[in-house]
Amino acid sequence: MNHNWISENEDVFYTKQSITTVSKEEVVILKKSASKSKRKQSRLCTHLSIKDDIHEMLIVLSKGEYIRPHKHLNKTVSYHIIEGELKVILFDEGGNVLKLINMTEYGAGGICYYRLSESLYYTVVPITDMVVFHETTRGPFSRSDYCFPPWAPPEGDGSCPLFLENLSTLLKNI
């Protein structure tokens, strides 16, 4: 692993540098890490601590990976696609789809940047085999700032594949 990173666990890394740069080489390392991870994802946190005021992460997600719908309480979140394609799905309180945002890397002719400034439930669905994106949100990190809806199964639950399948069917009709 890159000598400038500290491994938090098998798929989360932190930079040790106050000046962090990322090139194609580091993106390749993150993609390899995601392909070996049980969760089929990886992230490089470029903030130095969970206590930092601003959290920036380079995230790699693999196609078919389930990210439980959630909302951030009193936080803004933004994504900038670096490589691949991703769907952002926004839901109302009852689990009905409010908006679908098809995102793609800059230059591919679609939406490459997204920012959510209100507390809405959302999830992301990778469309390409792997998607690489930059996420920014306000810190410090606290699990209590996340809210999960009762209508979406927790990650690892046996019903996750069915939830994703039903969501995919619903999205085809939007």
Res. 168 pLDDT band, cuts 50 70 90: confident
Predicted local confidence at residue 136, as pLDDT: 95
Residue 10 has pLDDT above 90, yes or no: no
**Residue 16 sits in which domain range?**
5-172
**Can you spell out the DSSP letters for 21-39?**
---HHHHHHHHHHHHHSTT
171 closest CA partner among 97, 105, 63, 118? 97
**DSSP assignment letter at 144:** G
Predicted local confidence at residue 55, as pLDDT: 92
Q: Which two tokens stand for residue 28?
A: 């390749």
Number of compact structural domains in the chain? 1
In the Cβ-directed half-sphere of 167, how many Cα atoms lie within 13 Å? 31
Instruction: Report strand pairing: 12-15 vs 41-45.
Output: parallel
Q: What is the mean pLDDT of residues 63-83?
A: 92
The residue ranking higher by pLDDT, 65 or 170, is: 65
**What CATH code is carried by the domain that includes residue 136?**
2.60.120.10
Whole-angstrom distance, CA of residue 23 vs CA of residue 32: 15
Instruction: Report strand pairing: 12-15 vs 5-9.
Output: antiparallel
30-34, 39-43, 140-144, 164-168 — which is least confidently predicted? 140-144
The residue ranking higher by pLDDT, 35 or 1, is: 35
